[in-house]
Amino acid sequence: MRIYLDANATTPLLPEVVSAMHPFWSEGFGNPSSAHAGGQRTRAAVERARTSVASLLNCTPREIVFTSGGTESDNFALTGVLQPYLDRFLAQGQPVHLITTNIEHHAVLFAAEALERRGVEVTCLAPNHAGVVSADDLTAALRPHTRLVSVMLANNETGAIQPVGKLARITKAHGAIFHTDAVQAAAKLPVDLSGEFKNVDLLSISGHKMYAPQGTGALFVRKGVNLSPLFYGGPHERQRRAGTENVPGIVGLGCAADLARSWLAENGPEHMRALRDKLESGLLAAVPGASANSADAPRAPNTVNLRIDGIDAERLLIALDLQGISASFGAACQSGATEPSHVLLAMGLSPAEARSSIRLSLSRLTTEGDIDSALQIIPLVIAKLRSLHRQQAASTHP
């Protein structure tokens, strides 16, 4: 039995989600825009799913726009807000300013870079050593022409939670729009858009990080916030996102949102956090030279980012894979070469430290037995790699 510790990359589909989607791949195939009975059935299913997602986030169903996932939601938020300013202000020579952070997912960072190439001024806030950005830094970065602030809720590599409620309040007082990428937070932590996050204007979620299928997601757009669409076509999603809806995917996302609500209400995060803490403290005790990145930050309950002195993360992940453990590293693979993680570098780690860091992320299906097995296997694999390393060093420098 494999041990899956890569839930931040993608979560397994829950059986209830598969069952909920199933009819919409067979007899329930109608186009939700069709007026006939088949269309009305799928329209009703899409709207039920919208209500489920809205209930998870404590907003109204009309504020939910279904998308193809986190990447589209992030791009839609950034480009959708700033496009009208590009059209109006930049054409008249007036500056437009965007603030984000340098620990965002590339879906935000590269969208910001593309906007920068089109003339938008971009400021990236830097995190502290624990991977958390500060409200004071945001306040200092705001300019009269700051139109949008985008700060993620939980980081995908370290799990570090950003003070989004506070940052959104500051942004609102300044008169700018606030977006948060909650892809790694929704369905792991309570996200209340009418309470703690009432000043958040836009919020991205992704289906495949919350036990629904890949290629599904949503953007919360608070009532009154206007976005330019990314796509042109039909009047779907109240003119905000053209294209026939992915009905099975949306139904799966709705089901996953209902399951997440129950899981959150039944102390799921506490149980997950206890397993994560057992894994983390067990590894720190058993592996010499190991330390946890972002250990001093409030974190998503499922994520461990472990730095292991002298270990090449890529080699370790291959060795773990051979032993039946799926994990990941806080690094991006670009053109076949492993780049040190931009998140860990931003936190002040050296490239070598970033290259010796791995990410272990639990899912709701991770069991205590998985953690016990991982605690036996991972230290042994690391010890073996270290011994191989010593042998290689001895043979090259006899």
Write out the residues near ligand PLP by the rule CB under 6 A: 69-71, 74, 105, 107, 152, 156, 181, 183-184, 206, 208, 217
The smaller minimum CB distance to ligand PLP, of residues 30 and 252, is found at 252
Minimum distance, C-beta of residue 183 to ligand PLP, in the bound complex (Å): 4
Query: Taking the complex as a whole, how short is the minimal distance between the CB of residue 302 and ligand PLP, in angstroms?
Result: 12
Given the residues 59, 124, 255, 333, select the one marked as catalytic.
333
Per DSSP, 85 falls in state H
Minimum CB–partner distance for residue 110 and ligand PLP (Å):
11
What are the distances in angstroms from CA 367 to CA 7, 121, 187, 267, 282?
13, 47, 18, 15, 15
Q: Which residue's structure tokens are 């990314």?
A: 230
| Pairing label, strands 337-340, 290-292 | unpaired
Of the candidates 113, 121, 106, 115, the one whose C-alpha atom is nearest the C-alpha of residue 152 is 106
Of 142 and 357, which has the nearer Cβ to ligand PLP? 357
* Neighbour count for residue 21 (Cβ, 10 Å): 24
Token pair 């709705």 is at which residue?
A: 254
Closest residue to ligand PLP using C-beta atoms: 70
Residues shown for the chain? 398
Could you give the CA distance from residue 248 to residue 100 in angstroms, rounded to a whole number? 34
Q: Which is nearer to ligand PLP, 155 or 366 (CB)?
A: 155
Distance CA 153, CA 204 (A): 10
| Smallest separation (angstroms) from ligand PLP to the CB of 289 | 28
Nearest-angstrom CA–CA distance, 14 and 209: 12
In whole angstroms, the minimum distance from the beta carbon of 101 to ligand PLP comes to 12
Q: How many angstroms separate the CA atoms of 341 and 361, rounded?
A: 16
Q: Of the two residues 71 and 171, which places its CB atom closer to ligand PLP in the complex?
A: 71
Cβ at position 132, least distance to ligand PLP in Å: 15
CB of 373 to ligand PLP, least distance (A): 26
- Beta-carbon contacts of 72 under 8 Å, excluding residues fewer than 6 positions away, are 217, 219, 230
Q: How far is 190 from 196, CA to CA, in rounded Å?
A: 10
Mark whether 333 is an active-site residue: yes
The residue among 20 and 185 lying less far from ligand PLP, judged by its C-beta, is 185
- Choose between 5 and 385: whose C-beta lies nearer to ligand PLP: 5
SS (H, E, C) 223-277: CCCCCCCCCCCCCHHHHCCCCCCCHHHHHHHHHHHHHHHHHHHCCHHHHHHHHHH
Half-sphere exposure of 367 (CA within 13 A, CB side): 6
SS3 content of the chain, % helix, strand, coil (to 5): 45, 15, 35
Q: Tokens standing for 48?
A: 């039920």
Q: How far is the CB of 105 from ligand PLP (least distance, A)?
A: 3
State the catalytic residues.
333
